Amino acid sequence: MNSLPAKKWFVYVQDHHEGPFSVAELQQRRNSGLTEQSFVWAEGMADWLTIAEIPQLKYELFPANPSKQEAKPEPTSVFETAPVVSLAAKKDSSPQPYQDEPIDHGQPNKQSNKKTSPGKSVAIALSVVVTAVTIVVLGLVAASHFAPESIHSMLRPTLARMVAKVPPLGKITRLVPHVSDVAPEDLAELESSLQVPAETEVRLTVVLSHSDPARPSFYIATNLPSDTVLNIVLLGNGDTLLNELSYAQQSSVKVRNGFAKTDAFSDIGGRAIAKGEYQLRIYESTNQSDDVQARLLTLPSTKAVDLPQSLPSSPRFAFGKTFFLGGDRDQTYLARLKAFHDKIIEAASHEFTELSQYQSTMKEQFRSLESLLRSAMRMKKIPPKMRVEWKKRAAASTAITSQMETTAQAWTDDMLSSEFFYGPVFKLVRGSIPSLKKYTELGNSFFSQNIPADTFRIQEGQVSNEMDQSLSAVQTKLDWIKTAPKTQAGLPTRGGL
């Protein structure tokens, strides 16, 4: 007797089984995706089989074309591997009503015992791999946002390769560590330098840290090789500096996997830098490891800016940016800057007048002494009247020289460099005073000791030449000051001093 219609069938759907179903109910599920390759099981079967592997069930659910219909297969076979339990005998063990998670009726575990088809095995394996990769990628993306610099530094090469292979990940992955003291647009600019291979284009981006505007530091992102040593030079624009005329400081930093932060820049003694405009210049150091130097030589030379004449002109890589540092460029700053400029212009004018007076006085005293001394050297016997005149001139020169010497003693090198606009010229004047004093003393010895002129002439020539050179050096600087061009802000220049 054919027991097929009375059997209760379970169907394996994706990763779970559903049922039990009668044959009639299975026929209704053909429109829901049931096919001949669907796996089924019923009590008495040793394992799950496809519908195609159960001829009598296949016949009931998927009969052949009527024109080619074959004889109905004999009910048999699939239940021979296990005892067939009659319907009467299994009243107490009939399947429970349908639940979302069917109760186990003793059917074999399909996942562990069924021989999975090769295609399904590959799909499962790929699913596992994709899931694992997704978890790893999401973990790296999260770490790129929240990991501290020490960990982020180790992850950066992996993050860069990941973004290079899957560019859309660049929108959610941070290639630079999370820093809270820069603007969002600056972070994006830093990121851009790490998204291009250095072999294609060498890039370097520098942004300002806002942690301490008075003592600024900078973040650097570059695709130059890790451990590249960079020289950092900060130069102040004299026309814009408040209460300062110049600023120049240099430091160095080593890039760690594309990222670095400079030390804070400050003024002498750690004081805050002057508010104003500054140029930051960055170029590679000559002090590189052999490995880094070899890698740098393989990259295309990139000079985004020209370096000032005071800096080396040979680097292969040079970058720069202009910053306004020390605070805001507001109306208060502009008003104070104008007042400072007015003060500088007035001080420079006063110093030039003072220097001209020093130069004129020393030159006048020297020429007066020189003419009288050389006249006396040409005489066989010096008239008493000439000796009196010498004493008069020598006394005047000594008084003037002593006064100038007392004043110049207060001109320390630090004062001349920080408080005087034309400090280098005042330094030359300070050096001329001893020469004039020396010439006066030499003349005194000639008139008092009756030294033979021939013996004295050589010594006088040396001291006279020394004084001439001192006066000439000062005059050259004064001539330059008179003709030097003004700066854009109208300030007198002193770069040629």
Contact status, residue 232 vs residue 284, Cβ threshold 8 Å: no
Reduced to 3 states (helix: H, G, I; strand: E, B; else coil), residue 440 is helix
Query: Which amino acid, 419?
Result: E
In a domain, 190, yes or no: no
Domain end residue (candidates: 279, 300, 329): 329
Q: Are residues 58 and 80 in the same domain?
A: yes
Q: Are residues 50 and 163 in the same domain?
A: no
d(CA 167, CA 257): 19
**Sign of the C-alpha dihedral, residues 43, 44, 50, 56?**
negative
3-state secondary structure 230-268: EEEEEEECCCCCCCCCCCEEEEEEECECCEEECCCCCCH
In a domain, 359, yes or no: yes
Q: Are residues 309 and 206 in the same domain?
A: yes
Q: Which residue in the block uniquely carries the two structure tokens 């992955």?
A: 173
| pLDDT score at 329 | 93
Q: Are residues 237 and 145 in the same domain?
A: no
In a domain, 220, yes or no: yes
In a domain, 439, yes or no: yes
CATH number, domain containing residue 315: 2.60.40
Structure tokens of 226?
A: 């890790």
Q: Are residues 271 and 371 in the same domain?
A: no
Backbone angles phi, psi at 122, to 5 degrees: -65, -40
Instruction: State the residue range of the domain holding 270.
Output: 201-329
d(CA 239, CA 489): 6
Give pairs for 184-190: CB < 8 Å, separation 24+: 186/219, 190/219, 190/221, 190/259
CATH number, domain containing residue 435: 1.20.120
395-440 pLDDT, tens per residue? 999 999 999 999 999 999 999 988 899 999 999 999 999 999 999 9
d(CA 236, CA 248): 6
Query: Which amino acid, 183?
Result: A
In a domain, 184, yes or no: no
Residues with Cβ within 8 Å of residue 362, at least 6 apart in sequence: 404, 429, 432, 433, 436, 471
Number of domains in the chain: 4
Contact status, residue 255 vs residue 220, Cβ threshold 8 Å: yes
Contact status, residue 206 vs residue 260, Cβ threshold 8 Å: no
Q: Are residues 359 and 379 in the same domain?
A: yes
Q: Are residues 226 and 109 in the same domain?
A: no
Q: Are residues 99 and 158 in the same domain?
A: no
Contact status, residue 247 vs residue 273, Cβ threshold 8 Å: yes
Q: Are residues 20 and 108 in the same domain?
A: yes
Reduced to 3 states (helix: H, G, I; strand: E, B; else coil), residue 320 is strand
For the chain (497 residues), the mean pLDDT of every run of 10, in chain order, is: 64 84 86 87 88 88 62 48 37 42 48 56 81 81 70 73 70 71 88 86 94 94 94 95 92 93 92 96 94 94 85 86 94 96 95 96 96 90 92 95 94 90 94 94 88 82 95 95 92 82
d(CA 31, CA 42): 21
| Other residues' Cβ atoms within 10 Å of the Cβ of residue 403 | 12
In a domain, 456, yes or no: yes
Q: Are residues 324 and 352 in the same domain?
A: no
Helix (H) or strand (E) holding 220: strand 218-222
Helices 384-408 and 331-377 pack at an angle, to 10 degrees, of: 160
Q: Are residues 388 and 472 in the same domain?
A: yes
**Sign of the C-alpha dihedral, residues 148, 151, 154, 157?**
negative
Maximum separation of any 2 CA atoms in the chain, in Å = 167
Q: Are residues 89 and 131 in the same domain?
A: no
d(CA 112, CA 124): 14
Strand partners, 11: 18, 40
Helix (H) or strand (E) holding 24: helix 23-28
In a domain, 437, yes or no: yes
Helix residue ranges per DSSP H, 64-183 = 110-113, 118-146, 149-165
Residues with Cβ within 8 Å of residue 151, at least 6 apart in sequence: 143
